Amino acid sequence: MRYFIQATLVSIMVFLCAPAASQTFKEGVHYDVIDGVDQANDDGLVEFYSLYCSYCYRYEPIADAMKTAFADQFSKVHVASVAPSPEAGSTITRAYILAQKMDIAEKINRVMFDYNFKKGHLLREPEDIRNVFIVNGIDGQTFDKGIASFAVTARFNQWQRLIDKLGVRATPTFVVNGKYRINPTSLRDSDDLTASLINLAGYLLEKE
């Protein structure tokens, strides 16, 4: 609840000051144009992240604030290659997609992050990931059928193609409209990193 209130206040302040702040952002400093992309599309703001990435875990309050500020324009894509093993990466990515389709993505995302970084119980084995769903009210048979389904496989493959197309190699990576990659380190001296990142994302969402 505390993060929700903070994010709401941030989003209001950001939209009030966005026109002035947007003038300070520069290509090659605050953001980069992704190689091989000629023009922007309407994909919105995408966070490429991993549930095994400690930096992504620390960025969760910022990602939550971005979702509050941009609503349906914000989405998350799980990067399977950032994992302790290919099997773990594939399973947890499919599990997250299944959670999205079951409308429990935010809950499962939070729980799995907590297992990996708060409780110190890294979800290395597929059975560990499966048990997270069982503990949270999803029976094992439903989980097994779900992660092997055509719909989950199709989205998994779609994500892999997108990751390859945009050259995502590290997490978290924020991409706007399939063309602009945000450089968070350029804002490290900001008095309010969350507000600055939201301003930058808003600027890029409006950029042709």
Q: Which residues pair with 11 in a beta bridge?
A: none
Same fold yes or no, 1-78+170-208 and 80-167: yes
**Residue 72 DSSP symbol:** G
Domain ranges of the chain: 1-78+170-208, 80-167
Q: b vs e for 15-46, b when ≥16 Cβ sit within 10 Å of the residue's Cβ?
A: eeebeebeeebeeeebbeebeebeebeeebbb
pLDDT band of 9, cuts 50, 70, 90: very low
pLDDT band of 73, cuts 50, 70, 90: very high
Q: Domain 1-78+170-208 belongs to what topology?
A: Glutaredoxin (3.40.30)
pLDDT at 5: 41
In CATH, the architecture of 80-167 is: 3-Layer(aba) Sandwich (3.40)
Per-residue pLDDT tens for 34-67? 987 766 677 899 999 999 999 999 999 999 999 9
SS (H, E, C) 3-27: HHHHHHHHHHHHHHHHHHHHHHCCE
